[in-house]
Amino acid sequence: MKNPARFFPRSVLASMTFFSYALPVKRPLRHFCPFVFEFFFLRSSLLAFFFLVAGSGPAAIASQQQKANDPAPAVTKVEPPSWWIGLTPDLMLLLSGHDLEATHVSCNLATVRVSRTQSTAGGNYLFVWLKIGAETQSGTAVCRITAPKGTTSFELPLAARTATLGKFQGLSEDDVMYLIMPDRFANGDPTNDEPADAPGSHDRSKPRAYHGGDLLGIRNHLPYLKDLGVTTLWLTPIVKNGATQDYHGYGAVDLYAVDAHLGTLKDYQDLVAAAHQQHMKIFFDAVPNHVGPKHPWVSNPPLPDWFHGTLRQHLDSFSPLKGTFYGKPGGEKGYDPFESLPDPHAPARMQRNLTEGWFFGILPDLNTENPTVVQYLLQNSIWWAETSGLDGYRVDTFPYVGRKFWADWHAGLRRLYPYLTTIGEVFHPDPSVTSFFAGGVKRYDGIDSGLSTVFDFPMYFAIRDVLLRNAPVGRIADVLRHDSLYLRPERLVPFFANHDVARFAGEEGSSAAKLRLAFGLTITLRGIPEIYYGDELGMPGGGDPDNRRDFPGGWIGDSSDAFSQSGRTREQQEIFSYVRALLDVRRGHEALRGGRLWHLASDESSYVYLRESEEEQIAVAFNNSDKPRELRIPLSGTPAEKMAGIALLFGDANAELSGHEIHLTMPAQSLSLFALH
Ligand SMILES: [Ca+2]
Ligand SMILES: [Ca+2]
């Protein structure tokens, strides 16, 4: 904390020292009180200004102290806390503080011009719109605020962009994603387990308390993840949360700070850099739909319509529709009812609760129709990308945000980061619903969301129903036949588990064999597979929060260390080896990554499919039955009709190819891969 280089790249610090600044004349004591000073430390970069430029000696502090009791304007927070030159010509700052009814704001750099200001909430906020000239050099702008009760100032570090090579990479079909809840993976730094401002938050014996996992813990275990064969890490939100049970990260109170339980901004930057060094990618979990109930905005919003509604009066995010509206049986759904959103005949009344209601009735819903909110959120996403080099965004609660917002947000991001991938969470079993939100095409409302792709929730439901509840295996082909609804089905993200559903191994009907099949399907179907941390060990657990147990070996003193082979039980090693081997086969075969998928056979208990690239053809034979199965599959009229031979690549099935027919013998509950030639 004492080292400014921890918060700002050395090169930027160096460049700052070449600047001379007009020092702020009147600086209220508030700027120097320990709390605010500490706050600025955390905010990353203003520290550099104080250390290198301000030179605020004892005399200056004494003069500030004389003004201690004067009511005077003060800035306690600047969002964004820093920016880059040559990134965007316009920047909107949201200043928090008090008595900020500015009559004039100007900055000491001639090339940084204040184009507009707006003071709100009785002077508790001040919006400042800046024009950053192209000729601006890196350094810290010092901006003076003149208000009826006095003057104050704030600083905005403006850095040169660092090289973009190897950053903002986005995903391809070669990638394999791995979802981590940072609090539950590995504890790299026990000193941050219970930050000073979060007393009573850490207790490993409580499933809803913080457990101590952090960003350093993830960085320390990149070799394990690389060895497993995953290429991309999706971390649940890392921004500062406000409640003692917010270990999951979805209750933001500061969209510009890393939660202190997880480490510092420098830790995040280091993690991204270390991942890139290992040719791995990092996805950031973005939540533009809402903030946490404890966010200071909730009691004191920057604008009267900053949220949809207020704490006292707001809609809840349920669908007002009964299941029977679309002719479906009633009862438990187990998923979010989004059917009315893609429905061109649905009036606003049928949709408003979903997009403007508060999630669970408690999470304050941002007014993403307000252009000021849009700019705040876009700048926030640009800031995290630029500050870290991250490779993409997993986007939470995607359907709950109005579609015009997504179009604008994506357009703003893609102007700067054309390869960045965004993956939307659309928790629904129906591909006609999930596909509606994927971008690349204008839908009935004339809007292209811009979203790169969505998680394949319909496949998740099908895989669980088939493997755990003996649904007809044909359900898988039934999901796949809807791929024509997507512009880029090969970019879908199939999965069988995430942090919001019970562990596969903990479900009734599960077994070691079924877990292998879940991996087998997810890794060999089209798309970019996602794996939930610990499933490669067959981690047990029920629903939330039991599905978020600590990774064994992530904590000093754990009774076993599943990060190393010697620390795994025989059962853990069996499934780990299986997943690792399957990912290795996928990595070695282009057809299994980007290849086209063709149905060869599908029925109650089996599905046989072909993956075809220009170079090769691979057949995947899946038998869900608890008995061996024998199948004869004619190849005429398929891309494999000219193939003359077949060889086992993976698994235990037998296959012969003669007379343009594959003769398959599949063991019970098995998945096998064959190369055709
Ligand atoms: Ca820790
Ligand atoms: Ca919303």
Ligand nearest to the CA of 247: 1
What's the gap in Å between 537 CA and the centre of ligand 2? 36
Ligand nearest to the CA of 289: 2
What's the gap in Å between 241 CA and the centre of ligand 1? 15
Helix (H) / strand (E) containing 63: helix 58-66
Global confidence as pTM: 0.89
What's the gap in Å between 417 CA and the centre of ligand 2? 25
What's the gap in Å between 317 CA and the centre of ligand 2? 8
Ligand nearest to the CA of 315: 2
Q: Residues within 5 Å of ion ligand 2 by Cβ?
A: 289, 355, 365, 400
The 3-state secondary structure of 186-254, one letter per residue: CCCCHHHCCCCCCCCCECCCCCCCECCCCHHHHHHCHHHHHHHCCCEEEECCCEEECCCCCCCCCCEEE
Ligand nearest to the CA of 260: 1
Ligand nearest to the CA of 192: 1
What's the gap in Å between 149 CA and the centre of ligand 2? 38
For position 323, what pLDDT does the model report? 79
The 3-state secondary structure of 355-391, one letter per residue: HHCEECCCECEECCCCHHHHHHHHHHHHHHHHHHCCC
Ranges in the chain, pLDDT < 50: 1-68
Contact between 393 and 381 under an 8 Å Cβ cutoff? The reply is yes
For position 570, what pLDDT does the model report? 98
What's the gap in Å between 117 CA and the centre of ligand 2? 27
Residue 608's closest CA among 516, 659, 676, 658? 676
For position 46, what pLDDT does the model report? 31
Ligand nearest to the CA of 189: 1
What's the gap in Å between 479 CA and the centre of ligand 2? 28
What's the gap in Å between 368 CA and the centre of ligand 1? 34
Site of tokens 């061996």: 628
For position 322, what pLDDT does the model report? 81
Ligand nearest to the CA of 370: 2
What's the gap in Å between 246 CA and the centre of ligand 1? 15
346: buried, middle or exposed (CB in 10 Å: 19+, 13-18, 0-12)?
middle
Residue 34 preceded by cis peptide, ω within 30:
no
Ligand nearest to the CA of 401: 2
Ligand nearest to the CA of 194: 1
What's the gap in Å between 308 CA and the centre of ligand 2? 8
What's the gap in Å between 359 CA and the centre of ligand 1? 29
Residue 456's closest CA among 421, 416, 496, 400? 496
What's the gap in Å between 183 CA and the centre of ligand 1? 8
142-189 tens-digit pLDDT: 999 999 999 999 999 999 999 999 999 999 999 999 999 999 999 999
Instruction: Tell me phi and psi for residue 184, to 5 degrees.
Output: -115, 10
Q: Residue 252 carries which side chain, given as an amino acid letter? A: A
Contact between 363 and 246 under an 8 Å Cβ cutoff? The reply is no
Contact between 551 and 199 under an 8 Å Cβ cutoff? The reply is no
For position 509, what pLDDT does the model report? 98
Ligand nearest to the CA of 402: 2
What's the gap in Å between 353 CA and the centre of ligand 2? 8
Ligand nearest to the CA of 550: 1
For position 7, what pLDDT does the model report? 30
For position 47, what pLDDT does the model report? 31
Residue 571 CB contacts under 8 Å (≥ 6 apart), including other chains: 512, 538
What's the gap in Å between 552 CA and the centre of ligand 1? 15
For position 337, what pLDDT does the model report? 86
For position 330, what pLDDT does the model report? 63
For position 655, what pLDDT does the model report? 98
Ligand nearest to the CA of 355: 2
Q: Residue 50 carries which side chain, given as an amino acid letter? A: F
